[in-house]
Structure 1
Amino acid sequence: MSYTIYDIARVANVSKSTVSRVLNNQTNISDEARERVMKAIEQLNYQPSKRARALSSGFDAIMVISRSAKTTSNNPFFADILQTIAEKAEEEHFDVILQTAKNNKDELDKCIAKIRDKMIKGIIMLSSPAKEDFFKQLDIFNIPIVVIGKVEGDYQNIYSVDTDNFQDSYDLTKLLIEQGHKEIACLHSPLDYHVSVDRLEGYKNCMQDYGLPLREEWMIDSGYTVETGTQAAKRLLTLDALPSAVLATDDLKVMSLYKAATELDINIPTDISIAGYNNTSHTPFLSPALTSIEIPVRKLGEAGTEILFSIIKEHKKPASRTIIKTEQIIQESILVKQ
């Protein structure tokens, strides 16, 4: 026989609203009433359906918002961090809804619809758009949103988990300079997201601090894929004035440079040195081994998910910004210039 909360209320001799508060872990209830309700639940072996819970408090689900497919194709970062989030959500007995969208308006409309239908209790965003209108329009719904990336504005319900992308790029550029390089190029992603902006700015600021020229033809937007990255790398590596080193602002740019150098018979690091970012299982197989910033993908996913569930389940108010430390790994892809 299937029992309802009305049956629990009858057996426990309490109101239906009291049963509802117990089932939703609310605190405005006496210990004695809570104990009677819990004994009635055990006596009746009550198993609430997800739909029944959703009608009063929402589904036990979080939503993960990824970037559009055209910007994540063949990028292992998104698959790796999604796997980490899914594992943590499973531990908390929550479902995960993955959302992609055609454009910003489509994405916003889908989010608002799911929030209003009580389909989700929180959101994790796998990127941080440089234009933060999206955040402003969602903040008013009083649902926790954790962004894996930088957030510049001040919001009530939006939290950032990120690495220090500006400083990491500054430090990688500084490393190249300290190894004797003065002609340093940069392959970067489109400046639609904070991460891309900050990594390019770290490079530019370091070059300026050391009095080195910034050449427009050496700062190349390389798109989001290995194909567009390889085309950009070939343009760079066939210039009449070849840089002595390149900073690649993500692992797809790194793989593009290695691929282009091989096809053009350019030796790394004898002909050109490379420093970049490593956050996948692919880059350890590159030869020569890459000097890089190691991005802690699992730590980002775990920290973001833990913050989200601390808000949802424990009603905690965490810090608005959390920075995860990275590690600089020095290997064989940089030639020391005398």
Structure 2
Amino acid sequence: MGHTIYDIARVANVSKSTVSRVLNNQTNISNEARERVMKAIEQLNYQPSKLARALSSGFDAVMVVSRSAKTTANNPFFADILQTIAEKAEEENFDVILQTSKNSDDELEKCITKIRGKMIKGIIMLSSPVNEDFFKQLDLFNIPIVVIGKVEGTYQNIYSVDTDNFKDSYNLTKYLIAQGHQDIACLHSPLEYHVSIDRIEGFKACMNDYRLPLRKEWIINGGYNVEAGDLAAKQLFSTEHRPTAVFATDDLKVMSVYKAASDFNIIIPNDLSIVGYSNTTQTSFLTPALTSIEIPVRKLGKAGASILFSKIKENKELTARTIIETKEIIRNSVLKRE
């Protein structure tokens, strides 16, 4: 059995509280007492346990807050960005706690419990809900929180790392219009998160700027998973008048359109053009190759983790919002209409 701080106190002839102050590098202690304690530590070859340190100063851990598993199933974005964050945490000798929740109330309660229990020193959120009451309440606890996504409010301890989803969606739609398309549909995600709203608003703004019609039956909520995306794509292709092009707001919607097109014997791009977002390597296997905005998932994860550890370890002054540049890639999924 290893030695304890009681053994150090006995050998150094000081109180247990003095030993504790030395171990926690506090200054309210005489040089003589500190020297005796350090000699006792060396003599006993004392190794403080991680748990013991954590009870006084908190665990060296960060928490990654993901959405409910029901909304992330088969979505590789979350696995890829979590891997990037875990790699950075390992470099910093921090543990990672992954949290999912049933709803926002459950999520808030779990976060507060871990903060009060000194289980975490920072939080990374993998999505940004439109309702920012969650941020307002967590901001009061004075620990750094990095959100991978847009944050509209102004806070003391919350930092945003995002791409410009509105601009990217506007530009993808503009590209379709430049290729002669006017009948353009949009498959989007539920409008509970800033990313979903910004992407569909970018699409709508571009259509309005070019005075093109926004047909309600062509703007369809494709849900969070493959099954919902497939149903949305089939609904789109079952309409009497089909669009000539589709803007899909994420990987899952893109793959759903490709699958449904095959089921309906629709040839891409001859019968239907498509543009979308590419977050993962999965879309690289699509034929024809997708014209897309490539989301730099690893850059988002690295930037978010770097900001968090800068605040935890050095408490650096940082800008509240960081925008990561994206890349528009023109491939073969769009047919130019004469």
TM range (shorter): over 0.9
What is the rounded CA distance, in whole Å, between the counterparts of 1:319 and 1:285 in structure 2? 38
Amino acid at match of 1:91: E
Task: Report deviation, 1:214.
Answer: 1.2
Superposed CA deviations along residues 41-90 of structure 1, whole A, max 9, x for unmatched, are 55543322121111111111111111001110100001111111111111
Residue aligned with 1:293, SS: strand
Q: Aligned residue for 1:122?
A: 122
Compare 253-262 and 237-246 and name the one that shifted more. Answer: 237-246
The corresponding residue for 1:270 is 270
Query: Once the two structures are superposed, what CA deviation does each residue of 1:85-126 show, in whole Å capped at 9, x if it has no partner?
Result: 111111111111111111111111111111111111111111
Residues 88-97 or 258-267, more deviating: 88-97
Taking the aligned partners of 2:82 and 2:256, their CA distance within structure 1 comes to 24
1:299 is aligned to 299
1:335 aligns with 2:335: yes
Cα distance in structure 2, aligned partners of 1:220 and 1:86: 35
Q: How many residues align?
A: 338
Instruction: Tell me, yes or no, if structure 1 residue 288 matches structure 2 residue 253.
Output: no
State how 1:95-110 maps to structure 2 within 5 Å. 95-110=95-110
In the alignment, which residue of structure 1 is the partner of 2:72? 72
Q: What SS does the aligned partner of 1:140 have? A: helix
How far 1:10 sits from its partner (Å)?
Answer: 7.7
Corresponding position of 2:137:
137
TM superposition shift of 1:198: 0.4
- 1:26–1:254 distance in 2 versus 1, CA, 3 Å: farther
State whether structure 2 residue 317 is matched by structure 1 residue 317.
yes
Task: Give the corresponding residue for 2:252.
Answer: 252
| Structure 2: 5+ residue stretches without partners | none
TM (norm. structure 2) is 0.92
1:239 CA displacement: 1.3
Structure 1 231/48 Cα, relative in aligned 2: closer, same or farther at 3 Å? same
SS in 2 for 1:64: strand
Residue matched to 2:191: 191
Distance in 1 separating the partners of 2:122 and 2:314: 13
Structure 2 distance, partners of 1:239, 1:165, is: 29
Map of 1:202 onto structure 2? 202
Structure 1 residues 6 and 233: alpha-carbon distance in aligned structure 2, compared to 1, 3 A threshold:
same
Give the Cα–Cα distance (whole angstroms) in 2 for the partners of residues 151 and 292 of structure 1. Answer: 25
**Equivalent residue of 2:70, what SS?**
helix
SS of the aligned residue for 2:274 comes to strand
Say which SS state the counterpart of residue 170 (structure 2) adopts: helix
Supply the distance in 1 between the matched residues of 2:179 and 2:13 (Cα, whole angstroms).
Answer: 78
Structure 1 Cα separation of the partners of residues 286 and 31 of structure 2: 61
1:138-195 alpha-carbon deviations (Å, 9 max, x no partner): 1101111111111110111111111111111011111111111111111000000000
Instruction: Say yes or no: does 1:151 pair with 2:151.
Output: yes
Letter in structure 1 aligned against 2:106: D
SS at match of 2:150: coil
What RMSD, in angstroms, separates the aligned Cα atoms of the two structures? 2.4
- Counterpart of 1:118, as a letter, is K
Write the distance in 1 (CA, Å) between the matches of 2:155 and 2:77. Answer: 27
What residue number does 1:87 align with?
A: 87
Distance 2:331 2:104 in 1: 40
Q: Aligned with 2:46: secondary structure?
A: coil
User: Who is 1:222 aligned against?
Assistant: 222
Matched position secondary structure for 1:96: strand
TM-score under structure 1 normalisation?
A: 0.92
Which residue in 2 is equivalent to 1:163? 163
SS of 2:334 mapped into structure 1: coil
Find the aligned partners of 2:37 and 2:214 in 1 and give their Cα distance: 70
Deviation at 1:19, TM superposition (A): 6.1
* Aligned-partner Cα distance in 2 for 1:316–1:19: 31
Secondary structure at 2:141 match in 1: coil
Change (3 A) 1:221 1:44: same
Q: Percent of counterpart pairs with the same letter?
A: 76
Cα distance change of structure 1 residues 213 and 38 upon mapping to structure 2, 3 Å threshold: farther
Which amino acid letter does the alignment assign opposite residue 161 of structure 1?
A: V
